[in-house]
Each structure stands twice: as C-alpha cells, then as structure tokens.
Amino acid sequence: MQLVVSEKPSVGSSIAKVLGAHTRKDGYIEGNGYIISWCIGHLVAPAPPEEYDDRYRRWDILDLPIVPDVWKYQVLKGTAKQFNMLKRLMNRRDVTEIICATDAGREGEHIFRLVYNEAGCKKPFKRLWISSLEEQSIRDGFNSLHDGHEFDNLYYAALARSKADWLIGINATRLYSLKNDQTLNIGRVQTPVLNMLVRREQDIREFVPKLYYTVELDLGAFTGTTDKIVEKTDAESIMLSCNNRTAVVTDIVTETKSTAPPKLYDLTTLQREANKSYGYTAQFTLDTAQKLYEKKLITYPRTDSRYITSDVHDTIPGLLNIISSKLSLPIDFIPDTERITDNNKVSDHHALLPTKALESTDLSKLTANERDVLFLILRQLLCSAAEPYKYDTVKVTLECEGIAFHASGKTVIDMGWRKYLSGKADETDSLLPTLNIGDTFNNSEAQLKEYKTSPPKHYTEDTLLSAMENAVKTDNSVRQGLGTPATRAGIIENLVTRGFVERKGKSLIPSDKGNKLISLVPDTLKSADMTAQWEAELSDIANGRKQEREFVQEIQEYITDLVNKER
C-alpha cells in the first residue's frame, strides 16, 4: 500500500480520482492500492521559546539571545487531528512507501518533511512533481515519480529560511520591545519591506517641487516645443524672441521601430497586473490563482519563471486555439513559441499557462474574480506568442531665432501583440504633416508653459512587488529580491494585519506604528541589502551550493552580535 500526502484536501481528491481510489474515510481516501491523505497547510511548526525553557515565557533581555542547540517542533493545535491521522497512516503496517504530493516547491517540500519527521516515519518516500492538476499531468507524474531525496536541498533551503525567521523574529522582537517598553514585531523580510515604505513616504513629505518651463510654437498643423528651461526669465526671453517669427525645419529623422511581445507571467508579474487592472491585492490574486489551479484551469501558480520548457513547447498552438475559441478572438499570426522557450531560465516550474481543461469549462460558472485572473493569463499567452508591435517614428527639429524646437509623430504599421490589449486595438496614429528640410513657418505664435516636478508616488502593491523583486542591484548587475514570489503577498498582508501599513485606495501607507518601529531599529535589521543577500544564500542552498547549517550558523552569529551590541 502506498500513502500519498497532498497539501490540501481538494488536491488529494483530484489525485484520488486519477488513481482510482474511491472509498472515503475520515481524513483520507482509500482504494486501488493507495491511501490518499492531506495536510491542511502547515501541521507542524518550530516550537516557541518556552518549549526550550519555561523561563522564556517571561521576556527578559538578560536571556537573549535564544539560540537552540537542538531545534524542537510542535504540532499545531488547530490541525492536530489531521496530523495524528497522517502519523497513524504513515506507521500503518501495510503502508510500505510514502509519496510526497504537496505543492511542488520549497514550502511544499517543507510542509511534508516536517510531518514526516515529526511522525517518526522512516519508510522510503518518493516525490510527485507536477505543474498541473489535469488528469494526464497527474498520471504522467505518477509514471515518473522521483526519489524523495532528490529534493533534499529544497527542503534544507526551506528549513534554513524557517530557522532564520525564528532566530531573528524571536530575538529582535524581544530585544527592541524590551529596550523601548512596547511591543515591536520585527521580521527578517517584513522589516526591510516596511522600511522601503517608510522611506518612500519620507521622500514624499520632504519633496520640494521645482518649476520648469518650455516654449511652444504653434505651427498650425502641429506644435514645436523647446527642451526644459530652468529659469523663467530665459523662457520669457525665448518666447518674446520667437513670437511671430519664422521657424525653419533643420532636421528630420524617420525610424521604423518595433516592440517585442511581453514575456509570460510568473506569479509576481501576474499579481502586479491584477493590482494595476483590478485593484486586487497580491494575496487575493495568489488565492484566486490557487483556486484556478485546483480547478485544473492553470498550471502551478507559485512560479518564478516567465519562460516555458521545450517539453511544453508543442502544446502552445493548441492552447492558443482554445483561447481563440473561448474569447472569440481570431488568431491571424503564426505563434512564435521559440521566444518564450528557454530551459535554462526555468528552475522548479515554467511560466503560468492555461491548461487544456479550459476547452471543456463553462467560464460563466467561475466567479467574476476568477474570470478576471484567468483572462489575464489567457491574454498574456496570446500577446507573448504574437507578432511584434511595429510603427514609424518621425522626429523633427526646427530653428527659430537660433533656438531649437522639436516635434514628433508616430504611424502604426502593425498593432501586433498590442491588439489583444483591451482599449489598445483602436490606437490611432499621431501624425505630422509631410515635411522637408528647409520648410518654413511664418508668424508662428509662441507661448510660455509652466510645469513643476512631481513627488515620488506612493507605493501600490504593483510597484511594491516590483521593488521587492528588484530590491538590490549587485556589482555584476544581478538583481536580488526580498522574499520569493510565493511569500511576498503574505509579507504585505502581515504588515497590514499587524497595523504597520494601511491601505488607502490602491496605495500602501505606513502607519504611525510602522514609522515608529523603523525609527527604533538599527540599519542592519531594516537593510534590504542584507536581507536580499540572505535570500540569495537560500537559493544557493536549494541549488546545492551552500550548506543549511552554514547559513544558520551565520544567522546565529549575526543575532548574537546584535544582542551583545544593543543590550
């Protein structure tokens, strides 16, 4: 008998159906040589400090740092019943092998391994690694199960992340709460993200607008404009000099340009677009995408890649035909699937795609939110495989009384991928009249235009996700991020739930509580640089380039030094 452990009951039911297991019991499904059960998210978590020593129930700065020699874990009370069920099933005599079928990613691996270890299970286990819950994908996955230990490094990365969060969260929270006589919740990733928001608001508050000017020449069919002018007196002088004077065309540059189609969505770009288009929060978009995944309509959503692999390449034309039929959008191009295929740019999962189950699904049965998110994914695939957007640009330079004025225009040659963007299909040309070098315009009217610089914009979830993804630029121009695509939404939600950040429309604004916390903690704890470096090291662990114990030792030394310095 094989025991299959999924991450959620709904996924377990999908797997059971494919495996031919139909006998439902309390907490599992059995049949055809399989038992299918499930976690309910995390069933096991790191034990709190008081489980190591009862004196830690009382916060005392002299007890810091709290650094476990041997890490302890505990079963979460709210889901203890399901853990006990899994423990019994894992240790049943007729169960000879376990199959890990939790979400195919770092945290999914972590969820299973904690249960497996806490249950004291020593039986061999295999890994189901799939990117879709379609029946064929599940069958193919079970026909090519991996040895469970192939994913040890992924587990070690998750374990290291969990220990680092515990060490920094427990010790830094107690240290600065005791020092400041108030509770200050500090997180390894959460606090640097809060710092980004606080700094942005400070930049907005301290912003002093500056005036600048241009002079425009009304040339009848079009307008010529100077570059920015800093001093108003200079702009006024130019206006007076050029008013009712002759302007001469001195240069014309015509170029044919094209804009390549966008890449496919990873989770972060989907969340950003959903926030921009619909105002959805990152967490809401992730939750909605997860529902679509469990309904077998899209591939695994917690992906960090915007490319597909060569084994998926040949499925794209068929998917495009299904999308065309479902959305009543004709496809008048030959799909360029090579552009979106790159095995080297896919780690755990390829970019977000719809599945063939879309063809037989009545989309009207989905919720409006599910349709919105699904539409974005369908549209992105159409756009990414379509032809480039092509247009001609014309840049004209005129001279009047020795002053240069500029005008530009654009003529669309082929809308290409942009015709699938709502509201863009009817884009009109911005035309200039036919011009030649030496053409003159007499008695042109000059006008002074006054502008002022704008402050930075408040972060929205769209722009904050982008900032988190590209938090630090290294010497070799590699961008390092805060958190992962799977965790960024939860980080934002934690900041809001804990009262550090408020949502005002689409904007994310730090609260008084958030501003105060950032003012009281040292730079190292709110530094994006250090946190992004830690994230890079976690990736190194997942890829086998760094040891988990080495990373945790670094975190222990960091928090010990911090406590000794600040206590």
Query: How far apart, in whole angstroms, are the C-alpha atoms of residue 229 and residue 211?
Result: 9
Query: How far apart, in whole angstroms, are the C-alpha atoms of residue 16 and residue 23?
Result: 9
DSSP percent split of the chain into helix, strand, coil, nearest 5 = 45, 20, 35
Distances (CA, A) of 370 to 274, 288, 295, 302: 11, 6, 10, 16
Report the alpha-carbon angle 387-392-397, nearest 5. 155
Task: Provide the token pair at 279.
Answer: 């105002």
* Residue 251, helix vs strand vs coil: strand
* Contact in structure between 376 and 265 (CB atoms under 8 Å): yes
Which residues, 6 or more positions from 564, have their beta carbon under 8 angstroms from its beta carbon?
none
Of 183, 193, 187, 188, nearest to 510 (Cα)? 193
Task: Provide the token pair at 455.
Answer: 């402050």
H/E element, 4: strand 2-6
* 300 annotated active-site: yes
Of 253, 284, 290, 259, nearest to 396 (Cα)? 253
Cis link prior to 124 (omega < 30° from 0)?
no
Query: Which entry of 34, 300, 420, 558 is annotated as an active-site residue?
Result: 300
Residues tagged active-site:
300
